[in-house]
Amino acid sequence: MQFLSKESGSAGLLLAATVVALVWANVPGTGYASFWHTDVVLQVGSWSTALDFQHIVNDAAMAIFFLVVGLEISREVTVGELTDRRTVIVPVLGAIGGLILPALIYLAFQPTGPAAAGWGIPISTDTAFLLGILALFGPRCPDQIRLFLLTLAIVDDIGAITVMAIFYTDDVSLAALGVVAALVAVLVFMRWARMWKLRPYILVGIALWCAVFESGLHPTLAGVILGVIIPTAAVEPEQRERVRAYGRLAIQRADATRARLASAAVRATVPANERLQDALHPVSALVVVPLFGLANAGVALNADALSAASSSSVTIGIIVALVVGNGVGISLAAGLALKFGLGYLPGQVRYGHLIGGAVLAGIGFTISLFITDLAFDDPVLQQDAKIGVLVGSAIAAILGSVLLRYLGERLPLCSLADADNPPSLPAGPWIDPTLR
């Protein structure tokens, strides 16, 4: 639930940053574009490169965001919501529907030419905005639909990251890719050797970011790779005994040495994944994501820009793909999974919740804007796409909220047989009363 609360809190800051960016970009003489395109030289030893402020945010700071995404994906797959096939199959199939149909709808509007490269823009869901809106519903929105949409968003992130890596990569350097492969092998060995200290992972991760940057792949992929590899392993029995032994010594005879030993032993029982996620998630949700919105959401909304966007197949295609593609794609795929008994949604989840949540998943802000810059070099196409993302996300937020409010309790339960039998949490040290 800490993940949910931090993401919900991030939505307010992201919305505020978006408003500031739009005002800043549309007030004459404020220099929004010139500020974010100011070059800065980054140097580490003999390696150096020049990036503007916008690319520092998009390439470097957003690596933290994708690192947290990788950590969350790894944790959910190994010990979280994605370990139970019965409950995970519905959101997984829903997410696949929400990836495929929006892309097809966009390509129907723009099948050829440079603008066709934007098919990946409407496939993502903004977790922060999504959970922020669900928080406004309070108890009227069951926890199970929040977990369903969070699981869907995680699977959606996996799909969006895969699309970025395969379809939005420039020319690659084989030598740099060799370095990337070597560093990944080092990280895998560290995980295999059960290294629990975070500092070595961070140092190798920084080197990995530099290598990925030089390879031609998008450097944020380094964050995903690092997040997926950092161990999620639960505490081993001998570590539990060490905690108890040092704890007894510290109680029997209190001194600094025994206290430090007990403290180190306790830290060793917390998986490296969770320790790093606890440290970085607030930074990602409350600093990096709002900063990204500030750096990327500033588009001109003057009469000429809006007139051009209103007749642009890029803008219209993104709006329809976000709202209709996600709403229909997710609802249809999840509904078919329920219909044929492939899985179930536990608790008091109704079809009204499912439909409203599916439309809300069309809020594709952060990664949609991110892919926009990868897909288009033409400033006109970028502007049309960003307007489409802003308008489509706003429509999805409003329409999804209305559907969730008025259909939520009016349609039947999704899984009558399992409505009162939700799956239990997987066993792990985080719920072990001896370690509380």
Domain range enclosing 253: 237-269
Q: How many whole angstroms separate alpha carbon 401 and alpha carbon 325?
A: 17
What pairs with residue 436 in β-bridges? none
Q: Are residues 316 and 381 in the same domain?
A: yes
The answer as to whether 90 is a domain residue is yes
**Cα 209 to the center of its chain, rounded Å:** 18
Residue 217 lies in a domain: no
242 Cβ partners below 8 Å, 6+ apart? 265, 268
Residues near 316 by beta carbon (within 8 Å), at least 6 away in sequence: 109, 388
Based on the domain organization, do 244 and 357 belong to the same domain? no
Say whether both 107 and 256 belong to one domain.
Answer: no
Same domain, 11 and 155: yes
For residue 188, the SS3 value is: helix
Whether 204 maps to a domain, the answer reads no
The Cα–Cα gap between 252 and 258 comes to: 10
pTM for this structure?
0.77
Q: In CATH, what number is assigned to the domain containing residue 105?
A: 1.20.1530.10
Flag whether 285 is in a domain: no
Give the SS3 label for residue 397.
Answer: helix
Both 35 and 140 in one domain: the answer is: yes
- Is 46 among the domain residues? yes
pLDDT by position in tens, the chain (length 436): 455 555 656 778 888 998 999 999 888 877 888 899 888 887 767 767 778 898 899 888 989 988 988 888 788 778 776 677 777 888 889 999 999 999 999 999 999 989 999 999 999 888 778 878 887 777 777 777 877 887 888 888 888 888 888 888 777 788 989 999 999 999 999 998 888 888 999 999 999 999 998 888 888 889 989 998 998 876 555 555 565 665 565 555 666 666 666 666 666 667 888 889 888 988 988 899 899 889 888 888 888 888 988 899 999 999 999 999 999 999 999 999 988 888 877 667 788 888 999 999 999 888 899 899 889 989 999 999 999 999 999 999 999 999 988 887 777 777 644 444 444 434 333 333 233 2
Query: What's the CA gap between 265 and 245, in Å, rounded?
Result: 10
Residue 40 covered by a domain = yes
Residue 244 sits in the same domain as residue 331: no
Contacts of 207 (CB under 8 A, 6+ apart): 183
Examine the fold and report which residue of 269, 286, 319 is the final residue of a domain before the chain moves on. 269
Q: Same structural domain for residues 118 and 260?
A: no
426, 350 contact by CB (below 8 A): no
Same-domain check for residues 257 and 359? no
Residue 375 lies in a domain: yes
How many structural domains are present in the chain? 2
40 shares its domain with 106: yes
Same domain, 260 and 322: no
The residues near 121 (Cβ < 8 Å, ≥ 6 apart) are: 106, 318, 321, 364, 368, 371, 372, 375, 385, 388, 389
Residues 9 and 146 in one domain: yes
- Indicate whether 192 belongs to any domain: no
First to last CA, the chain: 17
Q: Are residues 327 and 401 in the same domain?
A: yes
Domain boundary among 248, 269, 290: 269
pLDDT of residue 297: 85
At 51, phi and psi to the nearest 5?
Answer: -130, 145
With b for 16 or more beta-carbon neighbours within 10 A and e for fewer, the 222-244 pattern comes to bbbbbbbbbbbebbeeebbebbe
Distance of alpha carbon 229 from alpha carbon 192, whole angstroms: 10
Contacts 24+ apart (CB under 8 A), 275-278: 275/198, 276/67, 276/71, 276/198, 276/201, 276/230, 277/68, 277/71, 277/72, 277/75, 278/2
